[in-house]
């Protein structure tokens, strides 16, 4: 394992009723990079990140995090290692306050300065003024930002963001860009995103999935120029 590699997979596979959702994927995430994962609907993106986060189990292959085999490790233990995953569909506690949502995210750490950690995370996403609001009353875009704050409060080594700009206004997307850039190089970001403008602005490297397999990995410029990617996904 390269000293610059944070997470890698080897021949990672997960099938569902004969459908090859993830089919022998080799993926490498470097420390301190923003790495985008793109592909058409049904390419296997969400299944892959569910495997990385431990929400579902692999049928075969390996996942290494900082050189440690975590393939069989449950999700809650991966969180403690520093893997945080925000979901494609907002996962918040709608009946609780904004503050309490973030506090619950960090409670397992039992930090002495929990309240300060919560407020720092809310400030990073611009929700400090909403701390006492009931989460379910927030706009959809603000709920997505709250979910991001919950991930940031964990101080992750790897932050996995699944369709984070879905439902965000342009002004909120600009804030999101700034937030993601502030995470690196202390952490690595894996960004699953359909908004190609966001992907091309933020990502240092991009991996393209198609039918459960890696079609290409490279810089934004290399991905734009890749004819197989153009045919399968970019429509050029």
**At 180, which CATH number?**
3.40.50.300
Q: What pLDDT score does 2 carry?
A: 62
In a domain, 183, yes or no: yes
In a domain, 71, yes or no: no
In a domain, 2, yes or no: no
Q: Enter the DSSP assignment of 97.
A: B
Asked if 62 and 11 count as a contact pair (C-beta separation under 8 A), the reply is yes
- Collapsing DSSP to helix, strand or coil, 154 comes out as coil
In a domain, 204, yes or no: yes
Asked if 58 and 71 count as a contact pair (C-beta separation under 8 A), the reply is yes
| CA distance from start to end of the chain | 36
How far from 130 is each of 5, 75, 119, 188, CA to CA, in Å?
38, 29, 11, 28
In a domain, 19, yes or no: no
Kindly give the confidence (pLDDT) of every residue in the chain, 236 residues in length, as a single tens digit, with 9 standing for 90 and above.
565 999 999 999 999 988 899 999 999 999 999 999 999 888 999 999 999 999 999 999 999 999 999 999 999 899 989 999 886 455 789 999 999 999 988 887 777 888 999 999 999 999 999 999 999 999 988 898 899 999 899 889 999 998 888 878 888 898 899 999 999 999 999 999 989 999 999 999 999 999 999 999 999 999 999 998 888 776 55
Q: Which two tokens stand for residue 213?
A: 């397999």
Residue whose C-alpha is closest to residue 102's, from 173, 152, 160 = 152
What is the rounded CA–CA span in Å between residue 73 and residue 64?
Answer: 11
Average pLDDT, the chain: 91
How many domains does the chain contain in total?
1
* Other CB atoms within 10 A of residue 5 CB: 16
Based on its alpha-carbon atoms, the radius of gyration of the chain, rounded to whole angstroms, reads 17
Q: Which two tokens stand for residue 142?
A: 């603000």
Q: Which two tokens stand for residue 195?
A: 């908004």
In a domain, 160, yes or no: yes
The structure's pTM equals 0.90
Find the domain containing 158 and state its range. Answer: 34-55+76-234
In a domain, 133, yes or no: yes
Q: Which two tokens stand for residue 189?
A: 């970001």
């Amino acid at each position: 394992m390269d000293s610059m590699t944070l997470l890698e997979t080897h021949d990672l596979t997960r099938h569902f009723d004969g459908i090859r959702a993830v089919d022998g994927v080799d993926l490498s995430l470097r420390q301190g990079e923003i790495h985008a994962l793109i592909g058409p609907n049904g390419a296997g993106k969400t299944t892959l990140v569910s495997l990385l986060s431990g929400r579902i189990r692999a049928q075969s292959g390996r996942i290494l995090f900082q050189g440690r085999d975590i393939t069989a490790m449950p999700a809650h233990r991966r969180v403690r290692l520093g893997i945080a995953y925000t979901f494609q569909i907002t996962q918040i506690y709608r009946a609780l306050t904004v503050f309490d949502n973030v506090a619950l995210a960090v409670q397992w750490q039992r930090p002495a300065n929990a309240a300060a950690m919560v407020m720092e995370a809310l400030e990073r996403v611009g929700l400090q003024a909403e701390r006492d609001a009931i989460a379910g009353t927030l706009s959809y875009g603000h709920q997505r930002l709250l979910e991001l704050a919950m991930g940031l409060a964990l101080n992750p080594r790897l932050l996995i963001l699944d369709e984070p700009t879905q439902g965000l206004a342009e002004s909120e997307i600009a804030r999101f860009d700034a937030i993601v850039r502030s995470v690196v190089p202390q952490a690595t970001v894996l960004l699953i995103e359909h908004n190609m403008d966001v992907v091309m602005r933020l990502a240092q490297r991009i991996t393209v999935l198609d039918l459960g397999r890696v079609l290409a990995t490279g810089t934004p410029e290399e991905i734009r120029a890749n004819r197989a990617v153009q045919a399968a996904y970019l429509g050029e």
